[in-house]
Amino acid sequence: MEYISETVLGLWKQPHDLGVGQLCVRAAIVYVVMILFLRMAKKRFLSRATIFDVILGIIIGSTASRAITGNAPFLRTVAAVLVLIGMHWLLSLSARDSTWMGWLIKGKADVLIRNGTVDTTELRRAHMSDDDLAEDLREKGIVEPSEVKEARLERSGTLSVVKR
C-alpha cells in the first residue's frame, strides 16, 4: 500500500516533485471517481442545467483539478468533491419538495409571450433583446410572436414555446 501511495500517486510529495507518470495516474483516478460521483448526482445534472448545476460543475472542476496537480491533499480533495455532490443532491431534493426552495435555488420561468403579445418588461428583465427572442423563435420554426400562445424563458435559460 505504501508503494502505491508514495511511488504511484506521490501522495506525500510536493506538487513540484510529482512526476509525469504520477500526474497521469492521478488524472485517471480522478476522472473515474468523478464519473462515479456524478452518476450519484441527479440524472439531469448536465442535460438541463440551471445555474445551480453549473456552479456545482465549476466548483467540482476546480476542486478536482487540485487533486490531480497535487496542490491539495489527494484523498481529502476527493472527499470534498463527494461532500459537494451530496450537498447538491440534498438541496435538489429540498427544491423538488418545496416550491419556495425551488424558486430560491433554481429560479423560475418567465413568460415572455402570452397570446401572441411580447411582454417587453419581462424581455428586458431577462436581458434579452428583440433580436434574441426572434432568433429563439426561428429556431423553433416560428416567424412571428403572433403564432405563439405562450413562450417562457425556462430556468435552464432555454425558450419553451406553445404554438397557437
- Tell whether 155 and 140 lie within a shared domain: yes
- Tell whether 10 and 83 lie within a shared domain: yes
- Tell whether 143 and 100 lie within a shared domain: no
Domain hosting 43: range is 2-104
Cα separation, 149 vs 145, in Å, equals 9
Q: What is the CATH number of the domain that holds 138?
A: 3.30.240.20
Q: Is the dihedral of CA 36, 37, 42, 44 positive or negative?
A: negative
Residue 71 DSSP symbol: S
- Tell whether 94 and 132 lie within a shared domain: no
Q: What angle do CA 159, 140, 123 make, to 5 degrees?
A: 35
Cα separation, 130 vs 73, in Å, equals 50
- Tell whether 100 and 120 lie within a shared domain: no
Q: Which of 88, 104, 120 is the last residue of a domain?
A: 104
- Tell whether 99 and 116 lie within a shared domain: no
Who contacts 22 (Cβ-Cβ below 8 Å, separation ≥6)? 8, 9, 10, 13
- Tell whether 88 and 19 lie within a shared domain: yes
Q: Which of 60, 80, 104 is the last residue of a domain?
A: 104
- Tell whether 114 and 86 lie within a shared domain: no
pLDDT tens profile 40-85? 665 555 556 677 788 888 999 999 999 989 899 888 999 999 999 8
- Tell whether 9 and 81 lie within a shared domain: yes
Cα separation, 8 vs 150, in Å, equals 58
Enter the pTM of the model: 0.67
- Tell whether 53 and 90 lie within a shared domain: yes
The span from the first CA to the last CA of the chain, in angstroms, equals 67
Angstrom CA distances, 13 to 16, 65, 74, 133, stand at: 8, 16, 11, 54
Cα separation, 50 vs 59, in Å, equals 14
Cα separation, 95 vs 97, in Å, equals 5
Cα separation, 127 vs 150, in Å, equals 19
- Tell whether 44 and 93 lie within a shared domain: yes
pLDDT tens profile 73-131? 888 999 999 999 889 889 888 988 999 998 888 888 999 999 999 999 999 999 999 99
Number of compact structural domains in the chain: 2
- Tell whether 130 and 65 lie within a shared domain: no
